[in-house]
Structures are given as C-alpha cells and as structure tokens.
Structure 1
Amino acid sequence: MIRMAKSNSSVSPEQVVNTVCAHNCGGRSRLACTVRDGVLVRVEPAPAPDDAYTGLCVRCLTLPQWVYSKERIKTPMRRVGPRGSGQFVPISWDEALDEIVDRFNALIDAHGSSSIAFVRSTSASPIASYTRLASLLGGGGTSNFYGGVDMAVHMGLNSTFGDKGMYGQHSNEWTDRLNSKLTIVWGHNPAETAMTAMRHLLNARDAGCQVVVIDPRYSATAMHANWWIAPRPGSDLALALGLLHVLIVEGLIDRPFLFDHSCAPFLVRTDSGKYFRSGDASTSEKPSAPQVWDLHSGRAVELNSTAAPALEGRFEVNGVSVATAFTLLTDSVAKYTPSHVAELTGLDASDIVDLARTYAKAGPAQIGLGYGVDRYKHSELFARAAAAIAIVTGNIGKPGAGVGVQSHYHGSHPARLGPGPALPKWASTKPVPMIEVGRRDLPVRAVFCQGDWINQRMGDMNTSLAYLKTLEFVVTVDHFFQTTTQWSDIVLPACTFLEDNSAARDALVFGNSIYLRPKVIDPVGEARTDFEIERDLARRFGLGEWFRESSEDVVRGQIDGARDPAFDNITYDQVVQAGGAIRLNVPTTPHVQYGNDGFTTKSGRAEFYIEELAELGEALPAFVADHEALLTHALAERYPMLLVQTHARQRAHSTFFNTAWTLEIWPEPILEMNPDDARQRGLANGEMAEAYNDRGHVVARVVCNPDFPPGMCNITEGWKQQQYADGNVQELTNSEINAGQTLIWGHANIPFFDTRVEIRPAALKRQGAEA
C-alpha cells in the first residue's frame, strides 16, 4: 500500500509504503515506512490482517539509520592489500562480474565445479539465495556449505515427530498460548529476542496461565514469570530426565496417548537395540513394522492385530529377549532421581518434583524451546527428552499443549507455497557441513559468500580464517562491510530488503496470513538486488535461459501455483490489491501442531526411541557428560568460566550491529560476569579484560552483572570484528562434532555455548595456552 501525505509549500511530499521485516528475529513485523523525498525517515507498525500480529520491535525503529549506515557498501570493490587487511578500491559492476566469471571458469576447467563453494548466512531472500546458480554451475555440482547453528533442537524434534525440515519444527500458533494452563519457556528470552511474540506470553499469563522460565541467568523474560528455575548451564538434559523420572515413577502419564500415538508399546531387541519385527526382519531393506506384545495371546504380533498391547514388560520371542520401548525408557531414567539430578543441576530436589507434578496436573501445558538450549554439544538429546515429557503426559496435538520451538515465526499455520523455477535434472550441489569446513580436506578453491557467515556461523574462528587464507578466490555479496567482507577478494553491494526494485520481493507466511515485501526506497549507491546479481552472473556463465523470469514472476508462481488448501481462492493479484497482506484460507482458531496432521515418522507415531542411534547408546536420550560446559569436564579447572553468547534486544544475530541509536546505548562489546567472579580476578566494572583459552582470545570491557551466576560469563552475539578492541568472541568457541547428529542428519550443530575460558585484566601479556 502507498499512501500520499497531504502537501503544501512548506511540507515535503511523503509516501507511506507497507512492507514486512526480513530479519532473523523471525517477528515478521509489518512495517509502515515513511519516505520523504526518496529517503526513509520513519518506521511504524502497519496493520496486519489479524491484529494479533500487528506490532514491531525496537530494532525496526532504527531501520532509517541501518539502511544508510556508514558501513554501507555502495560500489563493487576489489582487494588491494593482504587478505584480511580490509584494503579495497572501487571497481565497476562489469569489472567485478567479469572477474568472478573468469576466475570461476578457470577453476572449474582446472579442478571441476566442486572447487567452487557457495555459502549463505541467514535473512537472505529465498528467491535470490544463489542456490539456482550454484546448482546449475558447471553441471557437475558446486560445493554447498550448509548448516551451522540453532539446529540441534530441530534435529531432536524432527527425530521424534517426523522431519518437517531443518527449521520446520515449531510450537502451536502464538495465539494458542491463551489456551494453556502452564507454559515452560526453556532456554528462550522472548522479552529481548522475539519481542513481537512476548505479548502473547504475557496475555496468557494474565489470563491465568502459569509461566515457568528455565534459564541459568535471570533474564528479562524471567522477570515476568511465575516461577524462575536456574539449572547449571549445560545441565538441561539432566533436568529433563529428572522430570521424566518423577512423571513415570508417580504414574503421572497418559496411558491412552502412549498406546495410541507413541512408540511406547513397540518391542525392542535388547541385544541390538533395534525394533523387533516379524521373522526377525530388522535388517531387511524394507523392514516391517515393529511388533508389540499381545497380552491376550502372550506372543509378539503386529500392532493392528491386538486390542491389548503391553505397555510395559520384558519378554522372549524365539530365543530373542525383547522389552517394550516404554520399559526401556523407564529403566533409562531410573537413575535420574530428584536427589541425583539436584547434584547435576544445582537445583533443589523438591523443585524438580514440584515442577514435574505441576506440569502434569496443570491441564494442557506447553514446553516452548528457544535456542539457548540449542548450542551445547548434545542439545538434540535434550530436545528429545523434552519431547518425551510431552509424549508421556499426552500434551501433544491439542489446544494449549505441545512442545516445540517458540522463537522466530515458529507457530505459524503450515501453508506451502508453490514451487520455484524448475532446474534441469543434472543441476546439483555437493553438501559440505559448515562445522567441517577447514577441518577436513575439501576440493574447494573459491567461495561465493552471501552475508557474514564467518562471523556468525563458524566456531573456532582462527581455524576458519586459516582455511580462508588457503583459498584462491573469495567473493562476498553483502549490504555492509563486515567480518567476511574483510577477508574477501571481490565485494559486491547488495540491496537491503527495503530497496528491492521488483513489485514484490518475497512471499512469506506468518501467523495466519500471507505477506508480500515490496520496495520502499531506491537502491543506496550502486547496490543491486541479489536477484539481479544472480541473474547477471548466470548470463555471463551462459546460463541466462534459466533466469528469464522477473522476481515478481517467481513470487506470482509461488502464490498462484500453490496447491495447499490454505491458498484456495487466493491469488497474487488479490494480495497486491489487499495492500500486500491477506489472511490465508485457514481456520479462525489457532493452529495446533499435530492436531490433525499426525506424525510423519516411519511408524506414524511419536518416537521417543530412535533405533538408528542404538549403536551410539543414544536410542533413548541419556545424559552425556562430555559437554565442555559441565563442571566435571577436564578443562573446567584450567578454564573455570563458561562463556555464552546471548542474544541482545538491539540486534537480530548480527543485523543492526551498526545503527547509531542503539550504539549510543551499547557502543561496544562487553564482557558480563558475576561481581564475585570479577572481584576474584582483580577486575572492576568498566575495566578492559581478556577472555582466553587454547583456541584464541578476545578483549572487552567488563560489566559486573549479578543476573549471571558465578562461573558464567557472556559476550552477546553479533558484534563484528572491527568492533572488538582485540580478538573476537568466535576465536574462543567450540566446534566439536556430534556423532549422533551426523549419523542421522549428515551434519552437526556448532556447540557455541560449550566454551570454557579464563579471564584476566587485559593489561597482562597474553600467555595463551600456558597461562
């Protein structure tokens, strides 16, 4: 929608353009952008089709400063100094694109297309993420660096309920929180990181829902909770197993749900850990369904052959010892008694018992996960344990109940857009997990980067930079000079989502509506849209035939070509005529995940037992004590402080790192720590300190903050290399590879929070690993 303001001789003409925020907080706020003489001057909330989703956060208010930031890249640039020096000179678009194509073609001719890798950070346009070019280039498959962080909770939930895509697992719709009697906010701080979602949590609390926040620190969300529970960092899995223990021992379980909708009655071989199948066909290429124990006949049968399957018990079938999955779950949590879990978590045993009872007896209850519990080495096991809590109590698939990710847009009605442009059968990419980049031999000699992936999606930065130095050619397309641009050979200026020159940049679903994201202002400097850059590169590579449509054509096809019933009687033109947003053809009641569509696992049931992980001893979630975060870890004595990177209300990951208004409040990276920890190290508020470990170091100003418990310190994520006094927080972070995640998903989550450091005054000479 465009609305012209009244004008007279003393007032410049204004227009208001409604668009949608693109950034990775996931709030998807609809924005009313005031443009005066072609310049964005003000951002306010624009009405959403459903007023429950009208609103914006403090970050969006700073967009006028963000888009015109002094760090803005305004012209293509070529490196002239050493890689990493940040020394560049302007060049023309033709020079830049021709050099990229010439260098890539030479590498493909000499080493094959897999010598070229494409990598992207978040918040890039889904219709212009260079995936089409990457798939087409060379015909033999370029390399694709993928994954990174904030995936482990999704891995665990996907394993349990069925794969919905790596970021597809979510909770019930935000507005459903009013139906909950109890909500556990676990490792999530929406008051700062998902501000447009926070009001739904407060509305539920004010309507009588008990809000429990589980977080080691006293967060801005914990301030509004009925109950704040603070386990030791990295001990969330132990707490979840302790809650399961209480629920099962005290009989606080939903037996009908376990019988009808879970793997609980399935028989498991106790020798191999695999499900028992007819004719011992557990090794068949197309195995039959797991069998159950028929209480009437006293034998193993197919599930649909009995009305009386056993929920518990151990049996023998043709000389093979078996037990029900629920029996194995019961046995596995037997040792996680309240007293034992109290030792592991630092909580009172009585609080563990009270929480389990309160959750089970409250009525419909939700467990909302954030990414604070995601960044440990075994966080997928925690997510599976949290899912098991909901499964055994039947808190799945009904209003007010559920377990899932509650940050970002997760909770929207599922509505599948139509397919994007078609690709030839030979188009492909060769996946390379991000966590393995620089840690194993790769054929890659050049990287095309979209966004600042080095700063946010790689642990152990010094290893990553050492790898980057070995590459022959690095290209980055971005809005601002950041960490990855500093290490590039060619830098291309990209339009922000506010500057796209198509009629509608993207189509996206949020809540219960479909939105378009139109252009607000003309491109800054010589910036071009990612869609244009990808198309122009493709033409130079001789692939122009695959990029004949406009970005509007792509979006029109996504909406008009959608086969999902949510898009019945909705067309692209109707969305445009409605001002760029229209309600989907979905029920007026909040969406309830798994309410009607069931589970997409092999069995069609919720599977807390994952037989593929039996060889690792992880078929059931078990507490694994090799977290670097734990006090029992070998590094704990040498590096007694645990370093985390919380999200900040001023940034969405690293986006908005450069807005002047927020930098007035928070101008530099700070090292937050408990006052007692600072005092023990001779540090005072405002002094510069160095955090270090074997991997690297960072220097930042100390802020004594009692919200963090002793032994825990924090540097909020998203600061750029040029903003640190010395070093970088990512030099310190852990990049250990999780075997279970890799076995199931082919890649692993980066355990950023499994990071131990020691801290000292920055004036001391750094002694590295020998300090």
Structure 2
Amino acid sequence: MTTTTDTHCPYCSLQCGMRLAAADGAETLVVERPGFPVNRGALCGKGRSAAALLDPASRLGTPLVRERGELRAATWDEALSRVARGFAAIRAEYGADAVGVFGGGGLTNEKAYQLGKFARVALGTANIDYNGRFCMSSAAAGNRIAFGLDRGLPFPLEDIPRTECLILVGSNPAETMPPALRYFRELRENGGTLIVVDPRRTRTAEQADLHLQPLPGSDLALALGLLHLLIADGTVDTGFIEARTTGFGQARAAAMAHWPERVERLTGIAADRLREVAHRFGRARTGMVLTARGPEQQSKGTDTVGAWINLCLASGKAGRLYSGYGCLTGQGNGQGGREHGQKADQLPGYRSIEDPAAREHVARVWGVDPDTLPRSGRSAYELLDSLGAPGEDGVHGLLLMGSNPAVSAPRAARVTQRLRSLDLLVVSDLVLSDTAQLADVVLPSAQWAEETGTMTSIEGRVILRQQAVDVPDGVRGDLWLMRELAERLGVGRGFHDDPETVFDELRRASAGGQADYAGISYDRIRAGDGVFWPCPAEDHPGTPRLFLDAFATPDGRARFAPVTHRPAAEEPDAAYPLYLTTGRVLAQYQSGAQTRRVEALNSAAPGPFVELHPLLARRLAVAEGELLAVTSRRGRAVAPARITDAIRTDTVFMPFHWPGAGRANTLTNPALDPTSKMPEFKVCAVRVEAAGAAVVPAGAARSGQGEPV
C-alpha cells in the first residue's frame, strides 16, 4: 500500500511544496504537488532528489562518542550522560556562559524556539547564536532600522511579475532557488524590466534586460550613485517622502556626494550605464529592489541594505502594492530561525532580550523568573572565535545543532582549530558532517521527512512539513534530545518532544511580538497553503503584504539611512592584487553536508573550482582544469581553474560547498559589520598562481602563509 504525504522540500527558503510517496519495502519517491502556489509543482534537482537523503547508508544511525581519539558507537544513555556530565562540569568550573549553543537556519521553528529556551533555561547561558547570522543578518538589521520590522519579503512572490522595474542585487536564483526564476521571467513577459547587479554574468544575469558588473564590495557606492541620479532626474516622490518617511535630508546630502563619474571610479560601471538604470527605475510607476548575499555579506552590509532601501523610499516604491524592498533569504528556515530565540540578542516573537517587558512576557510563558534569563551573548563568529579561550572568557563546551561551521564559517581554518580546542563538542546532525567528525559526542537526528514541524518561508509564510516515513531505529528527534538533556541537567519541566505542543507554546511566547504567530495553528496551515505572519488571532487572515498602511515604526514612518560609501575591510594591494568572491552552484547546497551525499548531485558538481577570466588565465599561464593556488592573509586553497569571460578580469570566484584543500572559507575575511555582525564573506584580497600537480592536503600546515590550513 502506498501512502502520499503533502510536505515541503528540505533545502532553500522557497520551501517548495512536494509530495512523498512511501510504500512498505519500497523506495520513497518525490512527486509533484501542483497546488502549492509558490512552485506550482516545479522542483529543482535538489528537491527532486531529496528522498535520497533518507537512505540509511547516507546518514547517522546511532550515537557516537570519542574514545582514544576515535569515534565509536554508543547507546543514547551513555552519550547523553557524557554530555550532561561534561556541561555540568564546565559550568561548575567556569560559569554558565562557558557553555555555548550554535543552531542552524534549517531547524524547524519548534526546534529553534526550544533551542533558545534550552540555552537560557536549562544551561543558563547567554552564548547562543546560529548560522543564519551568516545569511541575512545585514538585511534584517537594515529592515528593522528603516521599517521597524524584519521580514525577508514584505510581499508574496506572486507580486514580482506585477512590478514594472526590479533591481536584483547580488543574487543568482537560477542556481540557488531555480523554481523562483519563473517569477522574474514572467515580469519580463509582462513588459517589466529586470536589472541584475553581480560581478559575474550568472545564469540569472543572462535573463536580465541590463546587467551591471561592479567591483566586489562597491554595492553601497552604486546605490548611493543611483539615488543621486534620481534626485538629479527629478524622479523622487516628494509627496511620499513627506507623508511617509523621515530623514531624507541626510540621505540626500550623502547621495549628492556620489556623482556619476565618482561612482564610475568606485564601481567600474560606466556613468552612462548608471544613468540608464536610474532612468528606468525612477520613471517606473512600481518597482522593487531585492538583495541577497552579495551586498549583505560585507562588513558594511547593513549600510548597503540601507542605501538600497533609500532608493525605494525616495522613489515612492515602498509601502505600496507591487513595490518595495525585499531580501531573498537563503536557508530553509532562515526567516523563522531568527524570529524565536536562537539569536544572541533575541527572545521569541522577534523580541529584544534586553527589553524588560519582553523578558517578563517570555519568562511568564516559560514559568521562570525573568531575572534568571541571561542578557545578550556573542554573535555567531564571535562565539566561534571564543571557543577554547582561557578561563571564564572562553566557551569550553558547545552544543551544535544542524550546522557545519568547519566548512561554512569565515576564516574556517581558525574556526576548525577552535572547535578542536573545546573541552566538549557535541554535534546533533543527520549526517556525519565535517564538523561532526571533530566532535566528542555525535547525536543522530531525525530529518525533514521523519518528523513534523513548521518552517517560515522567504515570504513570511508559515508552512508545515509533515512526517511521511518512520524514524529509523537508533535515531531521535532534536526536541526529544533537548527534553532528555534538560532533565539530566536538573530542569525536569517545560521541555516537550511533541512538535505541536511546542508550537502552541511558541504561539503564546510570540503573542504581541513583531513576529506574532498567536493565530497560527497546525490545523489552519493544513487547511490552506500556510499562513503569513503577523497573525495575532485565530480569526485574523494573516498578513501577506506589509506596510501598505503604515510602517512598523512608532510613528508609522519609514526611516532613511544616513549612509555613505566606505571601502571593504580588505582591498587588493601589491601582495594580494585580486578580489575573491564566493557563492553557490546549482547542484550543491550550503556546506554540502547533505548534497555531497546524493550521487546525482555530486556527479553534477563533484568538487571546488576557481573561476577566472581568460585574460587573467593567460597572465598566469594556466589552462582550463589546471590547479590554481588562491592565497589570502588567512590561508591557501587549491582547486582547478574554470576559465570564463563571465567574470571580471580583477576578480576570481570560488563556491564554498567543499572541505579540504579547496575550502573557499579558508580564505574569507571574518571582518564584521558593526551592526549585524555579518562577516565579510563576499570580498577579500587574494593572490592566484599556478599550483602545479600537487594538491595541498586538507589540514596541512604551511609556513609563511598565515595560519595553518
């Protein structure tokens, strides 16, 4: 007998609808679910092959503990006892903040919520953050400054084809979320203009009416220059500015210092091209700007987002139908994952952990004294960089759930060293990831099709992943894990392993907050196609479109950002004369911990590469496929050359999905945005040279080139 279950893809933030067909003794299959509006049945290769992740051969099936330097199988009782004893000993010696928690943007809302509660109530630590800090924290900060509220898209995807002009900055949905590309094609079919900003001519850029290829790290100057031209053209919307915004004077003064010829020098984009873009966007009746990791993963990412928001506000293209600024979230629950408490500075409902009223509300739901709740802790990279530091200043034990920072963190060689230096590293994951291989205790987790839980998509749509297959023997869910550990740590009440029970508590904890889920229930989600937050009551319809009447600031007005251009934290020089930028490829996802285990995906994208322009290749005397060594001030990576005229001559590109010699994040710069604490993944200075026949082995130390890699 075959059963079918409506659920959602385990990968990106589109959360495409799919069905799983499962039969006794037969392979589970992914089939189309055409009724779900986001993807209308379409799936990318990752989604179509997602059932391969359920193969027992590709995932963990029993707890592992380290003994005499090697991981061996253990019982759950042995593994959990070792974790509880270890964390208790660290807390007794160094204090509660010496135990840290690192979460993931792929965790369900229920897991993210309970992880934040576990850190603050069961462990009593302030030091919890998650890998979503590396995803869209700059956009989140810019949204909150400008609009008073952060939701990746303040409108549904279906609005994109209805706008007249869209500027897509630093995003490549053709490879990162292919089913979304349809919306951009439909925009052009409807007569709209698509403008893509990217240093590379990507598959997405090939779809555009205009493609701008700026210097990496110059997106802020570009946005300021376009605002300058809107002002000079007379296409600012003075009525909108006066009625619905504040702070235009400072933004105008900053923009006027960025005239076209100056911006041409800063960005490498011809002044006439800048004028064409400003003319098209400024004169369109409706328009959108969508950013992604390109402009956001910079040490000035928050200011850059603010500058693009300024462009929308000045032209009256925000807070109106088919207009606005949005961010294309990356991870599957990048939105929900940061709303309910696994960020260092937040409590559920997108509340500030420093707000007395927020602390009182959440503590009441949790049944604890608000004075016992910790304050803000370290952000993601700061937390990772503190691992193993001496005394009470360091984090000596870490619970890591659903993340792989040994591959995905900036300055990854140092992060790997810090992970190795811990007294106790505990990793909960569905596979033996690169980080799990370093752990003292590894706990096998149930995955997407084996458990039920909610996710919040790129649109702010809360959807339900439903269990379709049984959890394998020896595997447990993360909610169960947290309940068991809390009990062993002496906190026997308040932690549950039933996801709907946890979600109902999340609803109460979020009630009255900015990300208000109080009116959302499993039954409501099942009855439709998800529910958009905020949804404060069960008779509330949800909010697919934000800001049409007012912005979420105290006075209802949007705030212009008073920003000006500044260079990247690290610019090319004589020793490191080129820019490096990083990103993703179609067949792999994030750190590759899952997709590298799927044969079809691994065959399509088997390993890292260095993309460079033919003129640069000629100067280096390298041919297609020859090994290149890319060196930054932090280390060295080696990968084959991929020669293409789709990239700037002064820039090289590496995808970041792989560990070992070709690990791109060995090179990247952890310089942090002062507001969002986002590391500068997207731009650093490197030198490139032929590597000869020898590939550098992962983990090898080398003198004279910075840190060991």
Q: TM-score range with shorter-chain normalisation? A: 0.7 to 0.9
* Contact 1:171/1:411 (<8 A) preserved: no
1:516 is matched with: 464
Matched position secondary structure for 1:117: strand
Counterpart AA for 2:439: S
Alignment of 1:515-664 (within 5 A): 515-548=463-496, 550-556=498-504, 572-573=522-523, 575-576=525-526, 578=527, 591-596=544-549, 598-609=550-561, 620-628=562-570, 633=571, 635-654=572-591, 655-664=594-603
User: Residues 254-301 of structure 1: CA distance to partner in whole angstroms, max 9, x if unpaired?
Assistant: 11111111114xxxxxxxxxxxxxxxxxxxxxxxxxxxxxxxxxxxxx
1:505 corresponds to 2:453: yes
State how far apart, in whole Å, the 1-side matches of 2:385 and 2:511 are. 43
Deviation sequence 1:647-689 (CA, Å, 0-9, x none) = 2222331342321101112211222222222222222111222
Q: CA deviation at 1:531?
A: 1.0
Contact 2:13 2:334 in 1 (8 A): no
Aligned residue number for residue 484 of structure 1: 435
| 1:748 and 2:692 aligned | no
Mapping for residues 55-134 of structure 1, pairs under 5 Å: 55-68=42-55, 70-80=57-67, 82=69, 87-129=70-112, 130-134=115-119
Write the letter of the residue equivalent to 1:529. G
Specify which of 168, 173, 178 is matched with residue 190 of structure 1. 173
> CA-to-partner distance for each residue in 1:88-144, whole Å, 9 max, x for gaps?
111111110011111111222222211111111220122124222211125x43522
Letter in 2 for 1:728: R
- The corresponding residue for 1:257 is 240
Q: Deviations over 1:576-601 (max 9, x none)?
A: 5x4996899999999433112x2233
Offset of residue 560 of structure 1: 9.6
For the structure 1 residues 600 and 770, does the alpha-carbon distance in structure 2 shift closer, same or farther, using more than 3 Å as the test?
closer
Please tell me the residue identity of whatever aligns with 2:253: D
Matched, 1:460 2:460: no
1:16 is matched with 4
Tell me the residue number matched to 2:354. Answer: none
The verdict on how the C-alpha distance between 1:43 and 1:637 changes in structure 2, with shifts beyond 3 A counting, is same
> In structure 1, which of residues 141, 161, 168 is the aligned counterpart of residue 125 of structure 2?
141
Q: Aligned partners of 2:217 and 2:179: how far apart in 1?
A: 28
For residues 135-154 of structure 1, give each alpha carbon's deviation from its aligned partner in whole angstroms, at most 9, with x where no partner exists.
Answer: 1125x435224433432132
Q: Which has the larger radius of gyration?
A: 1
2 CA distance for matches of 1:251 and 1:580?
43
Determine which structure has the larger helix proportion and give its number: 2
Partner Cα separation in structure 1 for residue 203 and residue 367 of structure 2: 47
CA distance in 1, matches of 2:263, 2:230: 14
Larger CA deviation: 380-389 vs 549-558: 549-558
- The answer on 1:352 being equivalent to 2:277 is no
Identity %: 22
Q: Which amino acid aligns with 2:566?
A: V
Aligned match of 1:738: 673
Maintained 8 Å contact 2:14/2:457: no
Partners in 1 of 2:631 and 2:287 — Cα distance? 42
Letter in 1 for 2:546: Q
| Residues 1:177 and 1:113: Cα distance change in structure 2 (over 3 Å) | same
Residues 410/32 of structure 1: CA separation in 2 closer, same or farther (3 Å cut): closer
- Is the 2:218–2:567 Cα contact (8 Å) retained in structure 1? no
Tell me by how many angstroms 1:575 deviates.
4.9
1:243 to 226, 235, 241: 226
Counterpart CA distance in 1 for 2:98 and 2:196 is: 47
Secondary structure class of the residue paired with 1:188: coil
Residue matched to 2:640: 701
Matched position secondary structure for 1:333? helix
Assess, with a 3 A threshold, how the Cα gap between structure 1 residues 509 and 644 changes in structure 2: closer, same or farther.
closer
The amino acid of 1:730's aligned partner reads N
SS of 2:311's partner is helix
Partner Cα separation in structure 2 for residue 582 and residue 388 of structure 1: 30
AA in 2 matched with 1:468 = L
Could you tell me the TM-score, scaled by structure 2's length?
A: 0.85
In structure 1, how many angstroms separate the alpha carbons of the residues matched to 2:520 and 2:252?
49
CA contact (8 A) 2:508 2:518 kept: no
- Distance in 2 (alpha carbons) for counterparts of 1:121 and 1:602: 32
Change (3 A) 1:247 1:569: closer
Query: What is the aligned counterpart of 1:674 among 569, 588, 613?
Result: 613
Aligned to 2:344: none
Q: What SS does the aligned partner of 1:506 have?
A: strand
How many corresponding residue pairs? 657
Which residue of 161, 172, 177 maps to 2:160? 177
Q: What RMSD over aligned residues (CA atoms) do the two structures have, in Å?
A: 3.2
CA positional deviation for 1:28: 0.8
**Contact 2:577 2:686 survives alignment (8 Å):** yes
Q: Any stretches of 5+ residues in structure 1 without a counterpart?
A: 1-12, 265-324, 610-619, 742-746
Check the 8 A contact 2:16/2:38 in 1, yes or no. no
| 1:735 match: secondary structure | strand
Write the distance in 2 (CA, Å) between the matches of 1:39 and 1:430: 49
Deviation, structure 1 residue 428: 3.6
Residue 155 of structure 1 is matched in structure 2 by: 141
User: What is the one-letter code of the residue matched to 1:605?
Assistant: R
Q: How does 1:174-323 map to 2 (within 5 A)?
A: 174-264=157-247
Residue in structure 2 matched with residue 437 of structure 1 by the alignment: 383
Whole-Å Cα distance in 2 between the matches of residues 370 and 432 of structure 1? 24
Residues 1:657 and 1:402: Cα distance change in structure 2 (over 3 Å):
same
- What is the CA-CA distance between 1:473 and the residue it aligns to? 0.9
Equivalence for 1:8: none
* 570 and 469 in structure 1: CA distance in 2 versus 1, 3 angstrom threshold: closer
The answer to whether the 8 A contact 2:609-2:662 is kept is: no
Structure 2 CA distance for partners of 1:374 and 1:580, relative to 1, 3 Å: closer
Q: Which residue number corresponds to residue 368 of structure 1?
A: 290
| Shift of residue 562, structure 1, vs aligned partner | 8.6
Structure 2 CA distance for aligned equivalents of residues 104 and 561 of structure 1: 27
The 8 Å contact of residues 454 and 462 in structure 2, kept in 1 or not, is answered as no
After TM superposition, list the pairs within 5 Å mapping 1:331-350 onto structure 2: 331-350=253-272
Structure 2: which 5+ runs fail to align?
341-347, 350-361, 697-701
CA gap 1:544/1:53 in 2 versus in 1, 3 angstroms? farther
1:141 and 1:430 in contact (8 A); partners too: no
